Amino acid sequence: MSRSLLSITELGAEGVQRILDLADTMAEVNRRPNPKVPALRGKTVCSVFFEDSTRTRLSFETAAKRLSADTMTFAVSQSSLNKGESLRDTIETIAAMGVDAFVIRHKSTGAPWLVDDWTTAAVVNAGDGWHAHPTQGLLDAYTVRTALNRPGGFDGMRVAIVGDIKHSRVARSTTAAFKALGADVTWVAPRTLLPPTVHEHCVDDLDAVLADGVDVLYMLRMQNERMTEALVPNLREYTTRFGLTPARAARLAPQTLVMHPGPINRGVEIAVDLAELPGAVITQQVTNGIAIRMAVLFDCLAANQDPTSDLERPELS
Amino acid sequence: MNLSIIGGTIVDQQGERRADLRVVDGRIAEVGLDIGPYDGDRVLDAAGLTVSPGFVDLHTHLREPGREEAETIETGSRAAALGGYTAVVAMPNTDPTQDCVSVVEFVRRQGRAAGLCDVHPSASITVGRAGVQLTPFAELAAAGVKLFTDDGNGVQDPLLMRRAFEYALGLGVTMAQHCEVERLTAGAVMHEGDCCSHLGLPGWPSLAEELMVHRDIELVRLTGAPAHFLHLSTVKSVELVRAAKADGLPITAEVTPHHISLTDELLRSYSAIYKVNPPLRTMTDVEAVRQGLADGTIDAIATDHAPHVAETKEQPLDQAPPGMLGLETALGVAVAHLDMDLIDIVAALSWKPAAIAGLGASHGRPIEVGEPANVTAFDPAEEWDVVPAQLASKSRNTPYVGVPLRGRVRHTVLAGVVTVENGTATR
């Protein structure tokens, strides 16, 4: 039996916990000299990316390979899109080749749910529109869990997510993951960069948030084209109000974690040398992404399998 | 052949009464208790049914010419007849656009050839619906066009819209506006609210509709020309129209079956079946348009029947075209979802839209001797489920699968000719 991972909401608090615990096991595998186990041998994982994302795709493919799954990649170039094949036909064609899991990235909200309706294979959402990016939410939560090692876990943890919430699937999924674990999340953004209606705690004064103290400062990527939509006047003003400037960095408590989903817009949302941020865990996020995606693929494809059995044994072939 | 409709309860402008009727040469020849039997008459059994003037749809996309893979005038007419309609107003967003007499005449001719309901073409306000140049209103009016609309789009330019109202004066035609300020809806996929915020989809603010409703109300006040508002969907739109009518302005309005029955929460299924323009809104909006219909602020129920081939609706939400089917389910939705007297529901489906469409002389007439025999007979209590494969429309994009409907058409008569008998189209 396989199951899909489409959103943090559908995964639920228990599911988040389960994946994070499984990721501990996977992280241990990754620390071995031969970081490869036969857990998913014979399974085929196909990455279908309708939107460019080399980083996420590499992370998933590395994760699949460390579990000994076979991997295929379907990168949708502009030319094949122009052939006019529908999403459904594309998925059904690949499914007919015998695929156990699809890893889907699509610019349209909901596309992974449609795919999930059309195939019996597991579907992992690797980002849909501005909507959801559940493995990012999970790796962020995992990074905080391993880096802070806070007594009481996430309960009462103060997380500030700063920047373009409106257009960010990362913000939505990471917020959902942190909240599922019990953290308090504050969104920091001008009204123009928030969704039309919000139920989170929202402020537009980053300095006030920092003065109150935060455990996690999560900076989102600010895209250049937002200016042409009159969402912010210009990037200089954005950085002045919402960027992590040297002055703000100096006021951060040393244990405050600084996170970013990458790629960083240097000088915009983070306008300070990362070396000057002792709490920066941006590289760890990337590393943890592998363990989380291994955990997710294992959870989706080997749900009923004892995680200790095949994971103990190194892959020899 | 003459026709007797026996055993039904008539509901029309005169109220409700038990009566049979007889049709001779396309007109009602006799109305009364226990008429006939007449040898050689075709008899429609209306026992337990409501017999009313045929329905009139102000807002039908028949897709022909140009998009015959989704619907043709014949298949759309058949769907209309099955829904109890004897007349539909064909929207002009065809390809080519219904912006000149020749295209309008083509649509009318195809409607006549199908012979399943009266197809009355509307025409666009601007050439090619491009929002730049007015269509020849007078020529089109002479060809029988009564309603003008760029439906699918609102006329964005306020100066052009002012000229359209002014030029229409005296021609006996009505501007019908699709109210949407497009600068506020760029890329919009669904109603702007909680649901779209959660789904991370570009939202369609209610304001985009309301701003244009407000603009056109003021243009009507300025010019004195009449206006009809298509598919109103928000609380504030209803309030604006209510106030304008209280001021005595010559304004009418319609609401779709889906805006009185469905909400934006359905988009959480990620299915583009629920994508429509204007979008499904919140329960508060649904209640407001229902109230508007009940108190007469909104005059008519109009389907905005918008067929799309399956492949297009299988696409992700942002890529799929907006629109849903409506003709075959309108009555069932209205009866199931409106807390109104049946006579008021029939009014909103029949004689009120007939008057707006300029068809008041032939459709939506009382069931009386001498009137044209455009009637429908339906069971107001029958509960039923939509089976997409059984729809007469060429397309399958109904949002009502799994939604209980109440009220189903059994017979439809167009100018004395039976187009639907026992729920089956006769041609």
Residue of B nearest to A176 (CA): B198
Neighbours of B250 (CB within 10 A): 14
A88 neighbourhood in chain B, CB within 8 Å: 311, 314
pLDDT over 70, % of chain B: 100
- Residue A279: pLDDT band (50, 70, 90) is very high
**Residue type at B130 in one-letter notation:** A
Q: Do A162 and A76 belong to one domain? A: no
Phi, psi at B316, each rounded to 5° = -55, 160
**CATH number of the domain to which A81 belongs:** 3.40.50.1370
Catalytic entry in B304, B318, B339, B385: B304
Count helices and strands in chain B by DSSP H and E runs = 12, 21
Domain count, chain A: 2
Look at residue A171 and tell me if it is in a domain. Answer: yes
Give the domain ranges of chain B: 3-50+370-425, 54-356
Residue A105 forms contact with B (CB below 8 Å): no
Residue B60 reports pLDDT greater than 60: yes
Residue B190 forms contact with A (CB below 8 Å): no
Q: Which residue has the higher pLDDT, A317 or A184?
A: A184
Residue of B156, B91, B108, B103 whose CA lies nearest to B130: B156
- CA A186 to chain B, closest CA, distance in angstroms equals 16
Cis peptide before B322 (omega within 30 of 0): no
Q: Do A166 and A78 belong to one domain? A: no
Look at residue A2 and tell me if it is in a domain. Answer: no
Q: Do A297 and A263 belong to one domain? A: no
Q: Do A110 and A170 belong to one domain? A: no
Look at residue A292 and tell me if it is in a domain. Answer: yes
Range from A105-109, B97-101, B346-350 carrying the lowest mean pLDDT: A105-109
- Scanning B52-205, the segments in alpha helix (DSSP H) are 73-82, 101-114, 137-142, 158-168, 194-199
Mean pLDDT of chain A: 92
- What pLDDT is recorded for position A79? 46
- On whether the CB atoms of residues B300 and B58 are closer than 8 A, the answer is yes
- What pLDDT is recorded for position A307? 61
CATH of B54-356, one of 3.40.50.1950, 3.40.50.300, 3.30.450.370, 3.20.20.140: 3.20.20.140
Residue B319 forms contact with A (CB below 8 Å): yes
Q: Do A277 and A294 belong to one domain? A: no
Q: Do A227 and A178 belong to one domain? A: yes
Q: Does the distance separating the beta carbons of B194 and A88 come in below 8 Å?
A: no
CATH 2.30.40.10 is right for the domain spanning B3-50+370-425: yes
Interface probe, candidates A92, A104, A114, chain B, greatest B C-beta count within 10 A: A114
| Residue-range definition of the domain harbouring residue A139 | 135-285
Q: Do A113 and A156 belong to one domain? A: no
Task: Dump the DSSP string for A54-107.
Answer: HHHHHHHHHHHHHTT-EEEEEE--HHHHHTT--HHHHHHHHHHTT-SEEEEEES
What is the per-residue pLDDT across B171-192, written as a single tens digit (0 to 9) for each? Answer: 999 999 999 999 999 999 999 9
In the 8-state DSSP scheme, what is residue B117? Answer: S
Rounded Cα–Cα distance for residues A23 and A32 (Å): 14
- What pLDDT is recorded for position A80? 59
Residue B304 is among the residues annotated as catalytic for this protein: yes
**Residue type at B10 in one-letter notation:** I
Among B193, B200, B315, the residue with its CB nearest the CB of A197 is: B193
Strands B118-121 and B85-90: parallel
- Residue B361: pLDDT band (50, 70, 90) is very high
pLDDT, mean of residues B50-59: 98
- On whether the CB atoms of residues B82 and B412 are closer than 8 A, the answer is yes
Look at residue A294 and tell me if it is in a domain. Answer: yes
Mean pLDDT of chain B: 97
Residue of B313, B316, B90, B335 whose CA lies nearest to B201: B316
Domains B3-50+370-425 and B54-356 share a fold: no
Residue of B419, B276, B325, B365 whose CA lies nearest to B10: B365
- On whether the CB atoms of residues A124 and A297 are closer than 8 A, the answer is yes
Residue A74 forms contact with B (CB below 8 Å): no
Residue of A197, B77, B156 whose CA lies nearest to B164: B156
Strands B405-414 and B417-421: antiparallel
- What pLDDT is recorded for position B24? 97
Residue A226 forms contact with B (CB below 8 Å): no
pTM, full prediction:
0.94
Show the tokens assigned to A304. Answer: 């009923």
Look at residue A214 and tell me if it is in a domain. Answer: yes
Output the CA–CA distances (angstroms, integers) from residue B219 to A99, B208, B228, B353, in the order listed.
Answer: 60, 17, 12, 23
Interface probe, candidates B207, B266, B270, B312, chain A, greatest A C-beta count within 10 A: B270
Q: Does the distance separating the beta carbons of A169 and B316 come in below 8 Å?
A: no
Residue B279 forms contact with A (CB below 8 Å): no
Q: What's the complex ipTM?
A: 0.89
Residue of A nearest to B187 (CA): A108
What is the per-residue pLDDT across A214-268, written as a single tens digit (0 to 9) for each? Answer: 999 999 999 777 777 889 999 999 999 999 999 999 999 999 999 999 999 999 9
- On whether the CB atoms of residues B277 and B186 are closer than 8 A, the answer is no
Q: Do A26 and A66 belong to one domain? A: yes
Phi, psi at A132, each rounded to 5° = -145, 150
